[in-house]
Amino acid sequence: MYGNAYIDPNQTNKLTADEDPVKLAEFEARIQAGEKIEPADWMPKEYRKQLIRMIEQHAHSEIIGALPEGTWITRAPGFRRKLALMAKVQDEVGHAQLLYSAAETLGKSREDMINDLITGKSKYSNVFNYPALTWADSAVIAWLIDAGAIVNQLANSKGSYGPYCRALERICYEESFHLKYGHDNVVHLATGTKKQREMVQEALTRWWPPIMHFFGPSDKISVHSETLMKWKVKMASNDAMRQQFLDMYVPKIWDLGLTLPDPNLRKNPETKLWEYTEPDWEEFKRVINGDGPCNAERLAVRRMAEEKGRWVRRAILGENAEYVKPFA
Amino acid sequence: MAEENNEKIDSLDPRIMRASLDHSDIDPLESLDQFQTFEVFHQAKRGAQHQHVGIVHAPNPEMALLYAKEQYARRGVTANLWVVPSKYVFATSYFDDDMFDTTPEKIHRDPATYKVMDKIKEYKERQEA
């Protein structure tokens, strides 16, 4: 599961300044024709850089995203839910592995990516810096955060970079189980006792602002974004994906008699677009830059995993090991 | 080197509180810390072709098979898995893919282009005439 990659809106330098114009034209024509770009193909430096940044952020998001839910495995209500949640968390970690592999084909090693994660240099999806206070929070995450991730990932799976698209196809297939599992949990609570309904309503109210942040700030005006869309690195604007998400899920939420903490949320019957209170983008920036309720904890857990596993990895590393980039 | 900061992390998760984590950095991962890569081939059922599905990082083939099972055989049906160190895969270059361009033109290799029935029919018609 994942939100949209965060692009700094202040970074408006030209992306193709020193590229060979003939090669660039061939490259763009190939993408225009719907062909996939493979690891050994020529590509603009900025295409490579942006893809590494994006796929790497996505991989980190999967691995960090497993933490707020993983915390509920030991306290899951009932054996079947415990099994399902373990399967979901394992999927998320598996997705990170697939994505790290896709990013590796572009020339950044897994070690470098993990180092950048644990030192805070790389970002991951902002929603995972918030805590899952109750079991209902884990249900809301599994339903709605994964739903948002599917909107994003389905779009990106039609992108131009072969290894990323192939990883995303496998990921989307597995995310559809997460979505159904999450929906089942939310419906169970929403159709249950008064106490259960209160619990899921409170979780939904807590998670609505991070969910609205999920697709990132409005990016209509960025020149940067236009080139990335032409290269099929980015497949839809943040706002377009947010609209799609609202259109698919707000009616399902209201259908359960649950409410959302935004009095201005409605679908304009004339424009067919959702209207909402503008999310607090100052909070978004503050949290993504490290000052959220769980940033320190998430990275500390990650560091512990790397550090405590280190002696095991050293013990089993063969003497003649030799690294080559994954093939595709 | 890693920086010490012993201030404890506060968490809602009892397991994380028990782990007693702090803000200290760790030494960065070194090259090959995550091992070399193996290409994974998956066979859905006996008799079917093995198909390339992705890679795993592993220190040796035995562990590569274990990780391949976890990564690529979690769902659906699987009969068999292969792993091959990435360094042993050799490939043609996409740059030279024009060497395949004329293959579809070689219609003499295509059974559908041999129209014997047309000839027989025409021969029979001529005989009857």
Q: Which domains does chain A have, with CATH numbers?
A: 21-315 (1.20.1260.10)
| Contact residues, A window 177-216, toward B, CB-based 8 Å cutoff | none
Distance of CA B82 to the CA centre of its chain: 10
Task: Check CB contact of B2 with chain A, cutoff 8 Å.
Answer: no
Distance of CA A267 to the CA centre of its chain: 26
Partner-chain contact A303 B25, CB within 8 Å: yes
pLDDT at A19: 87
pLDDT at A324: 86
Cα separations (Å) of A18 from A21, A46, A230, A245, A322?
9, 10, 18, 38, 34
Alpha carbon distance B121, B101 (integer Å): 35
* Low-confidence stretches of chain A (pLDDT beneath 70): 1-14, 220-224
pLDDT at A16: 76
Residues near A328 by beta carbon (within 8 Å), at least 6 away in sequence? A38, A39, A105, A162, A163, A166, B52
Residue-by-residue pLDDT tens, chain B, 129 positions:
577 788 899 888 888 899 999 988 999 998 889 999 999 999 999 999 999 999 999 999 999 999 999 999 999 999 999 999 999 999 998 889 899 999 999 999 999 999 999 999 999 999 998
pLDDT at A22: 93
Report the residue of chain A nearest B37, measured CA to CA: A326
Report the residue of chain B nearest A299, measured CA to CA: B23
Cα separations (Å) of A63 from A94, A163, B78, B100?
8, 19, 26, 41
Contacts with B16 from chain A: Cβ below 8 Å: 71, 297, 301
pLDDT at B99: 95
| b/e map B19-29, b = 16+ CB within 10 Å | eebeeebbebb
3-state secondary structure of B53: strand
pLDDT at A12: 45
pLDDT at A320: 78
Distance of CA A63 to the CA centre of its chain: 10
Q: Where are the alpha helices (DSSP H) in A71-134?
A: 79-104, 110-118
Contacts with B63 from chain A: Cβ below 8 Å: 316
Partner-chain contact A110 B34, CB within 8 Å: yes
Point out the residue among A94, A101, A174 whose CB comes nearest to the CB of B55.
A101
Tens of pLDDT along A165-175? 999 999 999 99
| Tokens, residue B95 | 């740059």
Q: At residue A264, what are phi and psi to the nearest 5 degrees? A: -90, 0
Point out the residue among B21, B32, B56 whose CB comes nearest to the CB of A317.
B32
Best B29, B52, B66, B92 residue to mutate vs chain A (most A CBs within 10 Å): B29
Task: Check CB contact of A168 with chain B, cutoff 8 Å.
Answer: no
Alpha carbon distance A103, A39 (integer Å): 10
Alpha carbon distance A300, A117 (integer Å): 11
pLDDT at A213: 94
For residue A130, the distance in angstroms to the closest alpha carbon of chain B comes to 11
Asked whether A69 and A89 are in contact (CB, 8 A), the reply is yes
For residue B122, the distance in angstroms to the closest alpha carbon of chain A comes to 45
pLDDT at A69: 93
Asked whether A44 and A116 are in contact (CB, 8 A), the reply is no
pLDDT at A1: 53
Q: Which domains does chain B have, with CATH numbers?
A: 14-128 (3.10.20.520)
